[in-house]
Amino acid sequence: MDYIELTLQIDADFVEILMAELGELGFESFVETEDGLEAYVQEEIFDDVVVKQMLEDYASRTAISYQFKKIVRQNWNEEWEKNFQPIQIGEQIYVRADFHEPKPDFPYEIIITPKMSFGTGHHETTSMVMEHQLNIDHTNKKVLDVGTGTGILAVLAAKLGASEISAFDIDEWSVENTIENVQLNNVANVTVRQGTIEDEPKDMYEIVLANINRNILISQIPAYVTFLQKGGDLIVSGFYEKDIADIQTVAESVGLKKVAQLSKNNWAAVVFKYQ
């Protein structure tokens, strides 16, 4: 699977807005640059006509220029190494690549090699899920990571003391990437497979993580509950604040109660408790 790289030169005030717009169009990885933004989407779902129309609409509001480039699997490492910067989530989590200097003062240091997979920690949805994880006791609990991406949430769950983590993704690159990142972080209790929630082996978990998108969450939350023990926590993200009501309606219909919420730059992450 190859990707399309969109390079945007745009005023900084519009970067987050464009990230949100592109997220709606299937773009799944973003890197902020000095001039604007680089965004990545799977080639097979890339619709250049729709993307160009959206960008042209914004051109009437601000100066904007853009270029598209196909990124093949072989040269992805060079692309992300050129742009990837370490990130801090509060004072507890430090996410870096293996070529960055470690910071042992952080309780939880996570090393990743993104390789086109969504979830580096830079995007608000990923960082907010991680913030929620910090506030939930993972000790000796079983965790299911739905649509694992880079595996960053599964790795954090392991570092927070979870006993077993099952992580899966429909994308082959994400599965390979998660396996590599699990090894980089020396966590041995993460099982990774390729697939969907429909063919996930039946088991029960105290924590379910799902950082995907609004439509998938609305259709799949009832399935997630079948894997969640009573009293367990479901953390969901990948949607906007305006979508919380729709997500909550579905969640409440299957016995979930909203117990926590974070919002950042119009994105949201919500914790539900299974009653």
State mean pLDDT over 13-42. 85
Residues 6 or more apart from 216 whose CB is under 8 A from it? 147, 238
The per-residue pLDDT for 233 is 98
The per-residue pLDDT for 249 is 98
The per-residue pLDDT for 23 is 84
Residues 6 or more apart from 20 whose CB is under 8 A from it? 240, 265, 266, 267
pLDDT at 206 over 80: yes
C-alpha to C-alpha distance for 91 and 259, rounded to whole angstroms = 23
pTM of this structure: 0.78
State mean pLDDT over 181-206. 96
Neighbours of 212 (CB within 10 A): 19
Query: pLDDT tens across 85-144, in order?
Result: 888 998 999 999 888 899 999 999 999 886 655 667 677 889 999 999 999 999 999 999
C-alpha to C-alpha distance for 97 and 179, rounded to whole angstroms = 15
The per-residue pLDDT for 263 is 95
State mean pLDDT over 51-59. 94
Which of 95-104, 141-150, 225-234 is the least confident region? 95-104
